[in-house]
Amino acid sequence: MTDSRLGRWGRAELRSPRPLLVILIVVLVGIFASLKPMFLNGPFSISPLITTISIFTVVGLSQMMVLSVGHMNLAVGQLAGISALVMGACFQNLGMPLLLGLAVGLVVGTALGALAGWIIAQTGVNSFIVTLAMNFTLLGLIPTLYSSWSTGQAFTVQPPGFTTLGTGTFADFCLGDTCGSNAVPLLVIPALVCMGLVGYFYSSTRVGRETLMTGSNIQAAELSGVPTRRRLILVHAVSGLLAAVAGFMLAASTGSFTPAIGSEFMLPSFLGPILGGTLLAGGVVSVIGTFLGITLTSVIRNGLLLFQVGIEALNVLLGVILLAALATDRLRLLLAKRRPPKAEESAATLAAELEDAEGNR
């Protein structure tokens, strides 16, 4: 039973864009490494790359949460920014310890995300507009608060443990004589935790499955007794929470809380999930895909930076990648539709599905 299930899962994975992403990443890393051996330098190249991937994977997951119900969150960056602001103020002005300040910041991000979700669920207004308006409101609020709460538009006080978490690597931890690699930063831990929790939420919890159902057909979900409004508010709240985590991670990696936190989050937040096969229409998510999508764009970005390619050319390239990825996805869908289903194959799949359903009962 498990075997055929695993097989079907494997076949579905193979049909998804994810294998292509893995191949592309491997090929690109190979090319970059052979042309510039510097690319494989642990502490100077790989460690920053993994830090970037960790932060932006959390950003991508934040967007993926709302994409799972067919919504968008244009305020990802500003939610991260306001949470970082609150954390910084807690550390600097109130002298809070690391965990307490972090918790307050996460609560602010979650609450603002939930507020956006509540407005969308209550009024039925397009999520795009609600989060866009929230984005601009926060865009106005953040610099104002920074200038009134801090001196010099930034919080630089670092509570104990902050720098270790932000810039430390596994080399700091030793078991006997064997130490961890200095190429793997500690920031990888929060990213892995977030990926694990979000993956578990969608694959194995009742609420997660109900959320996906809400995304794929809200009316059917409503009629099946799913409290769709609460699911909508939930995904926006979790999206705010993840944005806050990403804001904290970015602040920890750079060592200070500034108004610039989050300003670069919007495009990557869409790039990751969409490259990884998450549908804009909702109902389909992929945590691994989001991770792979972010990894691909980060590898391209960091690799080309080694070749002294300017930021402007990178911007153009990232935009082109997004369009090309979506266009090929579209093309694949069209080709798949044109090919008639093979009789024996579909019968076999049907049988396997039935068998599986029997087993689950």
Partner 1 sequence: MKRLISANNLLLLGVVVVGAALLGSATGGTFFGPVSMTAFFTYLSVPILIGLAQMITLCVGQLNLAVGAIGGVAACAAGVMITSWGVPPWVGGLSTVLIGAFLGLANGLIVVGTRINGFIVTLAMTQILIGVQYGLVGTRTYGSSAWSAVTSFGDAKILGIPNVFVLTLLVAGVVALYFAQSVSGRRLLASGGNAHAAELAGISIDRTLIVAHTLSGLLCGVAAFVTLAILPGVNSSIGGDWLMPSFAAPIIGGVGLAGGTVAVLGTVLAATVVRLVDAASAIFKFDTSAVNFVVGAVVLGTVALGRLREVQAARRASALRSKRAEAALAEVSR
- List contacts with partner 1 (CB under 8 A): 72, 119, 123-126, 128-130, 132-144, 147, 266-267, 270, 274, 280, 310-320, 322-323, 326-327, 330
For 71, 114, 165, 230, 346, the CA distances from 195, given in Å and listed in that order, are 20, 21, 18, 23, 33
Shortest distance, position 251 Cβ to partner 1, whole Å: 20
Q: Considering all CA atoms of the chain, what is the largest pairwise distance in Å, rounded to the nearest integer?
A: 71
Is the Cβ of residue 10 or residue 310 nearer to partner 1 in the bound state? 310
Q: Tell me the C-alpha distance between 361 and 359, whole Å.
A: 5
Torsion of Cα atoms, 313 then 319 then 322 then 327, to 10°: -110
Contact 189, 175 (CB under 8 A): no
CB of 252 to partner 1, least distance (A): 25
193 vs 336 by CB, closer to partner 1? 336
Which H helix or E strand runs over 179?
A: strand 178-179
Smallest gap from residue 53 Cβ to partner 1 (A): 19
Q: Which residues, including other chains, have CB under 8 Å from residue 214's CB and lie 6 or more apart?
A: 69, 221, 226, 228, 231, 232, 282
Q: Least distance from C-beta 172 to partner 1, angstroms? A: 37
25 or 314: CB nearest partner 1 = 314
> With respect to partner 1, which residue has the nearer C-beta, 25 or 322?
322
Q: What is the C-alpha separation between 153 and 188, in angstroms, rounded?
A: 28
175 membership: H or E segment, kind and range: strand 174-175
**Residue whose CB is less far from partner 1, 312 or 345:** 312
- Helix 228-254 and helix 76-92: axis angle, to 10°? 60
The DSSP symbol for 180 reads P
Q: Closest distance between partner 1 and the C-beta of residue 134, in Å?
A: 7
Q: Which is nearer to partner 1, 107 or 141 (CB)?
A: 141
**Closest CB 303 distance from partner 1, rounded Å:** 17
Query: Residue 178: which H helix or E strand, with range?
Result: strand 178-179
Name the residue nearer to partner 1 (CB basis): 184 or 243.
243
CB of residue 109 to partner 1, shortest distance in Å: 18
Question: Would you give the distance in Å from CA 253 to the centre of its chain?
Answer: 17
